[in-house]
Amino acid sequence: DAFPSEAAQASLPDQVRVHRVLGQLQRVLETMGRPTSLQTTEQGAYTGHLIRDGIMPVGDPPEAPLLASPALVQIPVKTPIGSGFSGLVGGTPLIELSSLSEATGRRIVAKAEFLSPGGCQKDRVAKQIIADAESAGKLHPGATIFEGTSGSTGISLTLAAAAKGYKVHVVMPDDQAVEKVESLRRFGADVTLVRPASITSPSHYVNVARRLAEEACGRPGPGAYFADQFENTSNFRAHYSNTGPELWSQCGQDLDAFVMSAGTGGTLAGVGRFLKEVSPGVHVCLADVQGSSLYSKVVHGVLYAPEQQERTVRRHRIDTIAEGIGLDRLTANFSSGLHDHNGGLPGIDAAVKVSDQEALEM
């Protein structure tokens, strides 16, 4: 029988049901006097080569050029249809880093967040921030979302906001990659560039974004909202409620360690917190860039280097090629992951310093 049985069809909701199309094609070819042959697997899926003169069994390699691969009839079709930007966020695959696995004797995998529509895990944060603000009645149709960012969160917010009819105004340091600024403007964001400054200065990009949002709220119109990715724990919640469970499931609920850098700290804290709750033995480690103080916080419990005296701390940040990671202050999001719910046990077990040279060589 060239066609799968009804039982076979019913038992395979995820297989491509191409029998009707192929059946029609077969009948057309037969009326043209061309030979056809179809085979089905035990699961009822077609395993045929479509060639110039018809369809030949896979086991009988044709000499004529293939017009279609047999793999085409094995493609699963029961995949969700995403609803706009938000429907494409999440569900990124794991990719094994074979060279590192071979070098360490361990299976090392990376979560491919770069496949998210905005290019990184900040898409999850943007989606959560907007959803939470809407639920709290803080975002109204046509409103403008303000954010201070080194670029990545701004891109994600711009894409997520555009899909829901909001505008975005981004404030960022002027020493960031020009490609980020160009992308933001192409996506429709207003961009204000400011000189790098300490977080204690009114001219720091986060403080400027907050002030602009406050000023916009005082004017007639649909209003404004300050996303505040550093202190808004919707950031942490996005990863605690979604990224963490997703990663745990993809690993077959068998994971030894989770290593992550930190900017706002939301990803490391959220994923790490979830993993610790479902499996306290999972080792959570911060990979911190040169010049950042977060390493010192995890290892020594303070946000200054051991050789410095308390109360005489000065900003002594070492420049780095890394953008968007490393920080000289403790955010609400990072703090959410420092301890778990079980008696205050460490939520972040360890930290390592990573120099620019090491990052480049990796």
Residue 248: pLDDT band with limits 50, 70, 90: very high
Helix axes 178-186, 152-162, angle to 10 degrees: 10
Among candidate residues 111, 122, 180, 276, the one labeled active-site is: 122
**Percent with pLDDT over 90 in the chain:** 52
For 202-216, write each residue's pLDDT tens digit: 999 999 999 999 999
Place of tokens 């009114």: 202
Residues 226 and 188 sit within 8 Å (Cβ to Cβ): no
pLDDT above 90 for 362: no
Residue 251 to residues 88, 272, 359, Cα–Cα distance (Å): 21, 14, 25
Residues 176 and 152 sit within 8 Å (Cβ to Cβ): no
Q: Which backbone phi and psi does 11 adopt, to 5 degrees?
A: -85, -5
* pLDDT at residue 76 in the model: 55
Residues 186 and 118 sit within 8 Å (Cβ to Cβ): no
pLDDT above 90 for 226: yes
Q: Is the CATH number 3.60.70.12 carried by domain 233-361? A: no
Q: What CATH class has 140-226?
A: alpha beta
pLDDT above 80 for 317: no
The two domains 140-226 and 233-361 share their CATH topology (first three levels equal): yes
* pLDDT at residue 193 in the model: 96
* pLDDT at residue 48 in the model: 44
- Determine the Cα–Cα distance for residues 113 and 94; give it in Å rounded to an integer: 9
- Determine the Cα–Cα distance for residues 45 and 16; give it in Å rounded to an integer: 8
Burial class of 293 by CB neighbour count within 10 A (0 to 12, 13 to 18, 19+): buried
Q: What is the mean pLDDT of residues 42-66?
A: 43
Residue 259: pLDDT band with limits 50, 70, 90: very high
Residues 51 and 14 sit within 8 Å (Cβ to Cβ): no
Sign of the CA dihedral with 268 first, then 270, 275, and 276 last: positive
> How many CB atoms lie under 10 A from the CB of residue 195?
11
Any idea where the domains of the chain sit in the sequence?
6-74, 140-226, 233-361
DSSP letter, residue 204: S
* pLDDT at residue 12 in the model: 46
Tokens matching residue 261: 């850098």
- Determine the Cα–Cα distance for residues 198 and 45; give it in Å rounded to an integer: 62
pLDDT above 60 for 297: yes
* pLDDT at residue 157 in the model: 96
- Determine the Cα–Cα distance for residues 326 and 301; give it in Å rounded to an integer: 16
> How many Cα atoms sit within 13 Å of 251 on the Cβ side?
22
pLDDT above 60 for 16: no
Residues 62 and 56 sit within 8 Å (Cβ to Cβ): yes
For 70-103, write each residue's pLDDT tens digit: 554 455 555 667 778 888 999 999 999 999 999 9
* pLDDT at residue 326 in the model: 84
* pLDDT at residue 54 in the model: 41
Verify whether residue 122 is a known catalytic residue.
Answer: yes
* pLDDT at residue 25 in the model: 59
Residues 61 and 69 sit within 8 Å (Cβ to Cβ): no
* pLDDT at residue 17 in the model: 47
The pairing of beta strand 54-57 with beta strand 48-51: antiparallel
* pLDDT at residue 252 in the model: 93
Burial class of 178 by CB neighbour count within 10 A (0 to 12, 13 to 18, 19+): exposed
* pLDDT at residue 15 in the model: 44
